[in-house]
Amino acid sequence: MKKVAIVTDSTCCIPQELIERYDIHLVPLLIIYEGKSYRDKIDITPTEVYKIMRRRKNLPTTSAPSPEDFLNEYRELSQQAESILCITVTGLQSGIFNMASSAREMAKDVIPGTVIKVIDSRAVAGSLGFIVLEAARIASQGAELAEIIDAAQSIIKRVNFLAMLDTLYYLARTGRIAKAAAWAGSILDMKPIVAHFPAIGETTPVARPRTKTKAVERMLEIMADRVGDSTTHVMVQHADELREAEKLKAIINSRFNCAELYVTEFTPGMGVHAGPGVLGVSFYTD
């Protein structure tokens, strides 16, 4: 039996090979489309979600996993590990942290012998992924729960997330970022950049270039300001834009000293609000 099992939600954007290598357990969000519920990455793929969204008709929505979904995961893992660490997407933009915490309270009666800790990462997408990945790597070495939590908290303070939106249509429609909705009323042909830093816990617009080329360059400038000459861990995310993501990966590889560099799909859990065409980059320095 292992000491600590690592759980997160399906918004984390971690490449599948790393999920398998470090035995990371995902509780999926639900994608709601035409009255049916689909488990993220199980019943429906990100690519399928974005192809639906490009039609701009009968758009899908999302729903957080229930406490019972987390409890079922905790119960199963209690047979494999002495304790469980669950790290969720920021609680300021999602109810997932509350669902996972409610399940922890329920688990006190169901699996009283298993210690469960739930952490609000204050992060999103690949930034959440890097926090979870660090915890899973430390856990795979047989570390104690307290040591793993310390490692995760250290990464929380350092992760960054930047993303270029292909359109403001979806954000303006859902109102998830009020300022972006205001932008939509003034300039329709821009490629806005949003940023998310866990110290704030919210996603905010930071720039509004007119073209994709300028938007990508501005993201790289912001990244360079934050990284400097340090060794960097980077995850490029895309919403049905693999070719553009590979181009961005190549540029990052040529400009930065990368300890690790991945391309992965942008989570539909956020993508239903941001829309297809998103290019994002998550990163932190050693």
What's the 3-state SS for the chain? CEEEEEEEECCCCCCHHHHHHCCEEEECCEEEECCEEEEECCCECHHHHHHHHCCCCCCCEEECCCHHHHHHHHHHHCCCEEEEEEEECCCCCCCHHHHHHHHHHHHHHHCCCCEEEEEECCCCHHHHHHHHHHHHHHHHCCCCHHHHHHHHHHHHCCCEEEEECCCCHHHHHHCCCHHHHHHHCCCCCCCCEEEECCCCCCEEEEECCCCHHHHHHHHHHHHHHHHCCCCEEEEEEECCCHHHHHHHHHHHHHHCCEEEEEEEECCHHHHHHHCCCCEEEEEEEC
Query: What's the token pair of residue 133?
Result: 């990945």
- Summarised one tens digit per residue, pLDDT across range 194-238 is 898 766 667 888 888 989 999 999 999 999 999 999 999 999 999
Of 93, 95, 100, the C-alpha closest to 122 is 93
- Summarised one tens digit per residue, pLDDT across range 95-150 is 999 999 999 999 999 999 999 999 999 999 999 999 999 999 999 999 999 999 99
- Give the mean pLDDT of the chain: 92
- pTM exceeding 0.75: yes
List the domain boundaries for the chain: 2-29+64-156, 160-285
pLDDT at 256: 98
CATH of 160-285, one of 3.40.50.1820, 3.10.20.30, 3.30.1180.10, 1.10.3720.10: 3.30.1180.10
Using alpha carbons only, what angle is made at residue 136 by residues 259 and 70, rounded to the nearest 5 degrees? 135
Tell me the sheet residues that pair with 114. Answer: none
Q: How many CB atoms lie within 10 A of CB 95?
A: 14
Q: Minimum mean pLDDT among 15-29, 64-78, 166-180, 193-207: which range?
A: 166-180
Calculate what percentage of the chain has a pLDDT beyond 90: 80
Query: What's the token pair of residue 278?
Result: 């998103």
Calculate what percentage of the chain has a pLDDT beyond 70: 92
Contacts of residue 229, defined as CB under 8 A and 6 or more positions apart, other chains included, come to 257
Which residue did the predictor score with more confidence, 226 or 56?
Answer: 226
Residue found under tokens 């039609």: 55
pLDDT at 181: 54
pLDDT at 92: 86
CATH of 2-29+64-156, one of 3.40.50.10170, 3.30.70.250, 3.30.465.10, 3.40.50.360: 3.40.50.10170
Sign of CA dihedral 182, 205, 48, 45: negative
pLDDT at 175: 56
Q: What CA–CA distance (Å, rounded) separates 140 from 5?
A: 9
